[in-house]
Structure 1
Amino acid sequence: MSGDTELLVLRLGLLAIIFAFVLAASLGMLTGLRREAPRASTAPGRSTTGPRLVVEGVARTGMRPGDVFALAGEMTIGRDPSSGILLADPSVSGHHATIQRTTGGWKLTDAGSTNGTFVNGQAIDRRGVLLREGELIAFGAVSLRLHV
């Protein structure tokens, strides 16, 4: 083999190794993303005790009617993965609302969401509203019922 041919073979070999590395890294990242589950605090469950929001109606989410989000302290509600209650629906804003325990019960406050937050069909604002047992809350196209 001549010097030019050897150099060409080495270059093609290096190119093949780089291509294989990039392909393996890309596939590894995609597989890791598919396996990543929501954090326990954000994922709906089926618990029937304690203060909770129960899914009533959903649009384009993986949630089902009857799924439960346990309530504790102060929680953000939204589409952002950092939300305490994660509602992965396009009609829900990243940081849609907050719900917090007060001496008088649970207070719900809209966080300036695009599609609004509604309690029993009535829009609420940044001042918030004190919730009562059984009230229906809508965040975009997702509706949840409060049970305390």
Structure 2
Amino acid sequence: MLLTTFLQFPILIAIYQAVQRADAVQNGSFLGLSLKTTPWDGVLSGQWLYIVLFLVMLVFQFGSMYLPQYLAKQKAKKDAEAQGKKYRPTTNKTNNMMYYMMVPIMVISVVWPAAMTIYWAINSLTMIAKTLIVQKFFIDKKEA
């Protein structure tokens, strides 16, 4: 998971640079919000919809990070029950890393343009959908 984050970071920076230069972002809007305005500046100017955008992105991002761990834990419980063993939850350092990674994500998404926050939310929602599809059609199907 951490390796994936580091591999995606240069791509994210490239997208940020492209967004900064795009005419559609400089002059565009989404739900009445300027795409070039940062959520921080939007809130300071009294446009509270930027907070909603920020919170939606955070929920989707947390969900995309938490869902694979949750599904793995459910699978471990199911496997333990199938083998007649008692499930023993492990202290997972990945959970701590997930929570720590949310802090820079929150900071970055507040100071980047709303276009990047929207991109991040859509990307996270896509990751959630991908995780659920793989779980349902490949992992669960293989176990059945």
TM-score (norm 2): 0.22
Structure whose CA Rg is larger: 1
Q: TM-score, normalised by structure 1?
A: 0.22
RCO higher in 1 or 2 (8 Å CA, sep ≥ 6)? 2
Q: Which has the higher strand share?
A: 1
